[in-house]
Structure 1
Amino acid sequence: MQRRQFAAAALAAAGLPALRPRAARAATRLEIGLGGAFTTIDPHFFHATPNHTVAMHIFERLVDRSPDGRLVPGLAESWRLVNDTLWEMKLRPNVKFHDGGDFTADDVAFTFERAPNVPNSPGGFGTFLRTVSRLEVVDPLTIRIHTQQPAPDLLPNLTYVGIVSRRVGQGATTADYNAGKAAIGTGPYRFLSFTPGNRVDLERFEGWWGPRQPWDGVVLRLLSNPAARTAALLSGDVQVIDTPSVSDLPRLREDPRASISSVSGIRVMYLVPDFSREGESPHVLGNNGQPLPANPFRDRRVREALSIAIQRTALAERVMLNTAAPTGQWMPEGSYSYAPEVRVPELDVNRARRLLAEAGLGQGFRLTLHTPNDRYPNDARLAQAVAQMWTRIGVQTSVEALPWSTYLGRGQRQEFSMALWGWGSPTFEAGYMLTNCLASYDRERNQGSYNYGRYSNPELDRVIFEAVEQMDSGRREALLIKAVERAVSDLPMIPLLMLENLWATRKDVTLSARRDERTLAMDVRPA
């Protein structure tokens, strides 16, 4: 009699239940449907939320954020401010890269060299290291970061700089990262494959220093169509989706297979006028169909007219179905550096028409408003609603909606006269948008990198950089509020709405909603 049969007979004779064969542990795979297009595995090629979402699974940062936005240790166990222009960091010991190599200070030094200098980057990472003058390696687990001036926002900025291996990354191109050859990080998941426009496949890194992750494998799928994301969730093809369509929310809330997770966000939706031209702007015409000889958006009266012609409450309630809040700035109410004196602009159609008349445009003009149609929640519908509101004051507005892959490049080349954008402030203070989107564009200084309209105001620049270089938190907030007030008064951009961050999940998983919009497998657990 074989041993198993003998054991079964013995148990039966004793009146005990038979042994059951030990089942092999079922493999657990998490599939996530993302609405925003991720375009690269290279963690330093292009600063965009979908790319960060992918990179954060593979590459870790010196400083991290918890889902509620608090700064927490990452690859740096601790840090201290030695003086106003010097930070010292102690690195985490016994950290391994996915190929088994040791993580040391030299990898941080290499990362700081590489991140601002990736060839052909459409939106690089120099902005995050703008204040760094040099990195000093003290020993394999200690670094000192020297800054050109006081840099109170250094730690928040470092939450965006993924650390890569010098051994693997030296000489590697973005193509090498996308192919997996150089996609070697220290994160909880390791790279398997990347299919552009489709998916990224990852597997759990068993050598990770942190707590063991529950998922053997993770698949990040691009599902840019909102209806397709909802269908994939309800069918069980994916367990998590981000940015569910607001029109699908009632259905998802009633469906026993699904749950909704939400948190107040830090992304503002806003409109950017063209400041780059004094003469003709490419998508502005007179009522006779001929180009206007002068760019109307360089006249503040025109910008104010367009702003007060927008009924932001209607956008929040009817277009976004109460998943957004009207705003006149870019930080949510109650947050650090929110300017309480900056109110939501009130609808005033009659004043808007008077302002246009004062600017010599009493007969109105024709305008094409450009918008992405697959990047932000309801982006194209939002643009259509704004266009209707502007048409009511005599600015005959049509909308051209483009896929993000096309839209971004054209926007960076200042090909639009008026465009819809979204911007999150994951440093959780107003200075992030001020330095990146409203400061005068200066590639050498890594400022105004995302100033797509090319607005320039030297006096505002002075106020901005006085604020962001102030080390005292209370004084810095007062200066940031002053900068916000100064910026808003000149209308370099037209704020519309603050978005709520939304996810839908299957009932068999739970998700910790993040204020920075990232959709990370590390925040998802089996229910």
Structure 2
Amino acid sequence: MVSSRKLVGIVIAIIVIIGAVVFITTYRGAPQEVPKVTSPTSPVVTMTTPRPITTPTTPTQPITPATPPVTTKDELRVAIGTDLDTLDPHDQTTSLVDNVIMHVCERLFDRDEKGNLVPMLATKLEVSSDGLVYTIYLRQGVKFHNGEVLTADTVKLNFDRIFNATAKKRLSTYLPNVKSYRVVNESVFEITLSKPFSPFAMSLSLVYIVAKEAIIKYGDVLPREPKALICTGAFRMVEWVKGTRVVLERFDGYWEGIVPLKRIVFYIVPEEATREAMLLAGDVDLVFWPSLASLQRLSQTPGIKIVQYPTYRYVMLHFNFDYPAFQDKRVRLAFNYALDKETIVSKIFYGTATIVKSPWQIGMFGYSDVGYYKYDPEKAKQLLAEAGFKAGPDGVLTHPQYGKLSIKMVHMKGRFPGDVELAQAVQGYLRNIGVEVELVTGDWPWYINTIYSSPADKAKNGYWLFQRSWGPSIPDPYYTVFFLYSCNMWVGPANMTHKGINLTTAGRNIGYYCNPEFDKILDQYIVETNEAKRLELAAAMAKILWDDAPAVFLFQLNIFVAAKSNLEGLIFVPGEMIYLGKAYFK
């Protein structure tokens, strides 16, 4: 094991290459404010592309915490588009909900604006030279909302809960190859892997720690009650009115000191226009994802500012391979050629999205343009004809074996600006090539329960196509391609199989795509520590997925918030979140 080195202030040791330990400081970066724009027709914004993690190679001095600024108002009112589907920090399904949870619960490590690992509940990480043993040094004196003190025993209880064989949490899939873990002493916790996993250190920045009392009392299932969420964050959750609001109140025993705000209220408002109206009327101070069509006008409104920050959120359409027609690659390719991505980005997303030409996101490790399915409806029709489809009397394609090419597409409402308009555009473009699409719309809790339902339930309801957006916190392709396309991530009830493959409640592969050749390369990629070899394996994975087209690959989003101009201290956290714990009103 790598020996410990003397810390300079509050710092954390992480790997540059396996076995090397460096130091980095605690810092969360601010998002970028979009300047006022003058064009009256369309918003002009500065686009920012996410960049891969870069790890400093020399020690840096820690930032001394400043005295909290004086705020002229102590309640922050925020409008978001989706309700919470779970309070369980170990079982989160989307970053927008996680953005609420992160103010109540904290993780072992945080990430700065460049994606570097920085201290949170842990202050230091040591990794053995073989990349198998991770030793975590906990911050001492941290108190939970109930007065408990953070110890390695509590961390172990959290890991027991995450990896419980009968109720594995979704977080467990972000921590592969864990062989064992143990308490070394009161403030040191050790994890041993069965084989190396290069991004494992970054995965530790996803591990929330819940109080021992909550785990002992509630076990595997945290009730949907604020009192069950006992953590160490700067705020406590005191109210959750489903579909209406979530209320947080300041925790004065917070280890980092008292924060400026006494109260944060998140209002659940799926409609973009309503969120915008609330901001203009003074009913809220901050709006997540205002209407993209309104960015220009809002940026020129006195007292309002637009802030944008980059994201790895990739929007796509996922095929359900249980639908026989989608098992024909020509049909999947036809759908890719059928959509005019340039027009969608221009007209629906006002030029704020970026077309992606790879199975994973721009800015991630190993990204390069693999190909491009340029809009070509005639080619799409030709591919469908080659697959045996012919137009019926109503213009909808039919097949002698598959029948009528009439499908339902599940999509969400309020998850990101333009999500409904995108679904409607998809419906229109597919109609142009002879495909009949019925849109099935729901809010986030309904949507997530639907796409993660069993194969039988999807088939019973005729759900064969899914609008999907995926935005991992860590810029490594594993966190996209493993979850979305691995045979090991087929979603469904535990202890059940489908087509001979085990289902898992922690799965994210909602379309039941499986390519053993891809999985074989992915398995090699996961354990490879040589960067050049990892790049080669990444390129091989990208080519297989792009050519196989298990999804209609679309574009990557930038995220915008609209806020009162006197609201300061918004802190960008990689993974599509904004930390409001340091926010204040000038």
Task: Name the counterpart of 2:280.
Answer: 234
Task: Name the counterpart of 2:265.
Answer: 219
Q: Note the C-alpha offset of 1:25.
A: 9.2
Q: Is 1:385–2:428 an aligned residue pair?
A: no
2:191 aligns with one of 129, 145, 151: 145
Task: Name the counterpart of 1:47.
Answer: 93
Task: Name the counterpart of 1:359.
Answer: 387
How far apart are the structure 2 equivalents of 1:338 and 1:193? 42
1:481 aligns with one of 523, 535, 539: 539
Deviations 1:411-461 (A, max 9, x none): 222421111010002111111011111101456797981000010111111
The equivalences for 1:238-253 within 5 A come to 238-253=284-299
SS in 2 for 1:144: strand
8 Å CA contact 1:262–1:502 kept in 2: the answer is: yes
Task: Name the counterpart of 1:497.
Answer: 555
1:79–1:265: structure 2 CA closer, same or farther, 3 Å change rule?
same
Q: Is 1:66–2:125 an aligned residue pair?
A: no
Task: Name the counterpart of 2:155.
Answer: 108
The equivalences for 1:393-412 within 5 A come to 393-412=433-452
1:308 aligns with one of 337, 341, 346: 337
1:29 aligns with one of 71, 75, 79: 75
Q: Which amino acid aligns with 2:117?
A: L
The equivalences for 1:84-483 within 5 A come to 84-117=131-164, 124-172=170-218, 177-275=223-321, 277=322, 281=323, 295-340=324-369, 342-363=370-391, 364=397, 365-413=405-453, 414=455, 415=458, 416-442=463-489, 449-483=507-541
1:35–1:43: structure 2 CA closer, same or farther, 3 Å change rule?
same
Q: Note the C-alpha offset of 1:160.
A: 2.2
Task: Name the counterpart of 2:4.
Answer: none
How far apart are the structure 2 equivalents of 1:171 and 1:207? 23
SS in 2 for 1:519: strand
Deviations 1:173-208 (A, max 9, x none): 577553233321111112222222222222222222
8 Å CA contact 1:330–1:498 kept in 2: the answer is: no
SS in 2 for 1:31: strand
Q: Note the C-alpha offset of 1:334.
A: 4.3
How far apart are the structure 2 equivalents of 1:120 and 1:239? 39
8 Å CA contact 1:45–1:174 kept in 2: the answer is: no
Q: Note the C-alpha offset of 1:332.
A: 4.0
How far apart are the structure 1 equivalents of 2:258 and 2:71? 16
Task: Name the counterpart of 1:16.
Answer: none
Q: Which amino acid aligns with 1:143?
A: F
How far apart are the structure 1 equivalents of 2:564 and 2:408? 41
1:332–1:412: structure 2 CA closer, same or farther, 3 Å change rule?
closer
Q: Note the C-alpha offset of 1:303.
A: 0.4
How far apart are the structure 1 equivalents of 2:72 and 2:309? 33
How far apart are the structure 2 equivalents of 1:343 and 1:524? 42
Q: Which amino acid aligns with 1:314?
A: T
Q: Note the C-alpha offset of 1:211.
A: 4.7
Number of residue equivalences: 485
8 Å CA contact 2:571–2:579 kept in 1: the answer is: no
Deviations 1:268-317 (A, max 9, x none): 01111111x2xxx4xxxxxxxxxxxxx11001111011101111111111
Moved more, 375-384 or 505-514: 505-514
How far apart are the structure 2 equivalents of 1:305 and 1:26? 57
Moved more, 165-174 or 231-240: 165-174
8 Å CA contact 1:300–1:491 kept in 2: the answer is: yes
8 Å CA contact 2:167–2:220 kept in 1: the answer is: no
Q: Which amino acid aligns with 2:444?
A: W
Q: Is 1:38–2:84 an aligned residue pair?
A: yes
1:480–1:171: structure 2 CA closer, same or farther, 3 Å change rule?
farther
How far apart are the structure 2 equivalents of 1:523 and 1:67? 15
2:579 aligns with one of 516, 520, 527: 520
How far apart are the structure 2 equivalents of 1:446 and 1:195? 30
8 Å CA contact 1:127–1:447 kept in 2: the answer is: no
TM-score by length of 2: 0.78
How far apart are the structure 2 equivalents of 1:525 and 1:108? 32
TM-score by length of 1: 0.86
Q: Which amino acid aligns with 2:348?
A: V
1:432–1:26: structure 2 CA closer, same or farther, 3 Å change rule?
closer
Q: CA RMSD in A?
A: 2.4
How far apart are the structure 2 equivalents of 1:501 and 1:119? 37
8 Å CA contact 1:366–1:395 kept in 2: the answer is: yes
How far apart are the structure 1 equivalents of 2:377 and 2:72? 62
What's the % identity of the aligned pairs? 27
8 Å CA contact 1:63–1:76 kept in 2: the answer is: yes
Q: Which amino acid aligns with 1:430?
A: P
1:367–1:178: structure 2 CA closer, same or farther, 3 Å change rule?
closer
Moved more, 258-267 or 42-51: 42-51
How far apart are the structure 2 equivalents of 1:497 and 1:232? 29
1:409–1:446: structure 2 CA closer, same or farther, 3 Å change rule?
closer
- Unaligned residue ranges in structure 2 (runs of 5+): 1-69, 392-396, 398-404, 495-501
How far apart are the structure 2 equivalents of 1:418 and 1:492? 11
8 Å CA contact 2:85–2:444 kept in 1: the answer is: no
1:404–1:202: structure 2 CA closer, same or farther, 3 Å change rule?
closer
Q: Which amino acid aligns with 1:512?
A: I
8 Å CA contact 2:341–2:355 kept in 1: the answer is: yes
How far apart are the structure 2 equivalents of 1:474 and 1:163? 35
Q: Which amino acid aligns with 1:391?
A: R
Q: Which amino acid aligns with 1:368?
A: K
Q: Which amino acid aligns with 1:224?
A: P
Q: Note the C-alpha offset of 1:57.
A: 0.9
SS in 1 for 2:558: strand
Q: Note the C-alpha offset of 1:69.
A: 2.9
1:184–1:370: structure 2 CA closer, same or farther, 3 Å change rule?
closer
How far apart are the structure 2 equivalents of 1:40 and 1:453? 23
